[in-house]
Amino acid sequence: MSQPTNVSAIPPQQDPAFRDWERATSQLARAGRISQAAAEHLIRQLAAARERVEATRVEVADALYAILRGVEDGALVEGVHFHREHSELAVAVEAAVAPLSSAHVRYERPSDMRTILSRGARLWPEIFLRSARCSFAHGARHRAMVIDVHHARRFVGMPPERTAGSTPEPCPQDVN
């Protein structure tokens, strides 16, 4: 199955926020507040920072997608690799890496996935709610990353989760 992502591939020149920043720095340069070289340097720095964030977004989307798919298809076992409460999912990242590596994504070390998710937590706090110590199977305690499932699914482009009491929306061709 192909992996849906919500990662934008908008070049910096077409990004409205980037264009606004570029316009503001060029106005400062024309007004003599900063030199033209400083304005160009700021634009290059902004483009480089934007590229780093986009690269992080791709890595975080891949890791979240692997976790969500692992929960759905049973590669991750509840009580062993994760706990679920309402729309929150507490994932023991280091314990979940091995099953995810065999099923979805390959990580060199367990700490690689934690590093990616920690970077994501700094950029998208609405997805990564907190990090906490949790008890899992056989008395094992792991540091778990608590994820908001609704925001995570939207971030990676997956459809909303169906709950037991929810009714599916009718397809457009079914509506008369």
- Give pLDDT tens digits for 44-80: 998 898 888 888 999 999 899 999 999 998 889 998 9
Contact 68, 161 (CB under 8 A): no
Rounded distance between C-alpha atoms, residue 34 and residue 67, angstroms? 47
Domain region containing 72: 12-156
Give the containing element (helix H, strand E) for 92.
Answer: strand 88-92
- Decide if 171 is inside a domain: no
- Decide if 173 is inside a domain: no
In this prediction the pTM is: 0.73
- Give pLDDT tens digits for 80-132: 999 998 889 999 988 888 888 766 567 777 788 889 999 999 999 999 999 88
Work out the end-to-end distance of the chain between its first and last CA atoms, rounded to an integer number of angstroms. Answer: 32
Q: Cα–Cα distances in Å, from 81 out to 17, 91, 159?
A: 40, 6, 23
Give the number of domains in the chain. Answer: 1
Give the containing element (helix H, strand E) for 41.
Answer: helix 36-73
Backbone angles phi, psi at 21, to 5 degrees: -65, -40
Closest by Cα among 80, 73, 57 to 152: 57
- Decide if 88 is inside a domain: yes
- Decide if 3 is inside a domain: no
